[in-house]
């Protein structure tokens, strides 16, 4: 028991991803993670949408979600992660699905039934 407690004390604390490295033609650009509005899966890559535009990063949506702060980023579909601070409102479609409207972007994002429980507490 003492050995387990000692190991827990010596472990390095986990830090969430703060910067996204985006490859561009002339090099690499860093985007602060909290400036992203949402992430969408595109094959083995992930598209990052910010207010300035969009870029591709060389990570799957699953890998990226494991590195993001779960208090700030919610997975709303198996292929979509949204920055909670960018949500303007949540509407219910005729089919019963939840639709997210973002603050500064015209896109609407659909919440799958699997992740709808995140919005029931609101």
Residue 99 belongs to domain with CATH number: 2.40.50.1020
Domain count, the chain: 1
Q: What is the pLDDT of residues 15-68, one digit of tens each?
A: 889 999 988 778 888 999 999 999 999 988 999 999 999 999 999 999 999 999
Residue 20 lies in a domain: yes
Given 3-state DSSP classes, what are the helix, strand and coil percentages for the chain, each rounded to the nearest 5?
A: 25, 45, 30
pTM: 0.84
User: Domain containing 107: what range?
Assistant: 15-120
d(CA 70, CA 42): 21
Residue 88 lies in a domain: yes
d(CA 122, CA 116): 11
Residue 4 lies in a domain: no
Contact 56/46 with Cβ under 8 angstroms? yes
């Amino acid at each position: 028991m003492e050995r387990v407690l000692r190991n827990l004390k010596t472990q390095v604390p986990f830090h969430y991803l703060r910067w996204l490295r985006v490859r561009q033609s002339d090099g690499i650009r860093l985007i602060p993670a909290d400036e992203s509005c949402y992430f969408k899966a595109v094959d083995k890559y992930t598209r990052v949408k910010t207010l300035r535009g969009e870029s591709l990063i060389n990570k799957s949506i699953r890998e990226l979600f494991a590195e993001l702060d779960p208090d700030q980023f919610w997975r709303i579909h198996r292929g979509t992660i949204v920055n909670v601070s960018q949500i303007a409102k949540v509407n219910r479609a005729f089919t019963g699905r939840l639709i997210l409207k973002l603050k500064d972007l015209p896109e609407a994002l659909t919440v799958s039934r699997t992740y709808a429980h995140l919005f029931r507490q609101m």
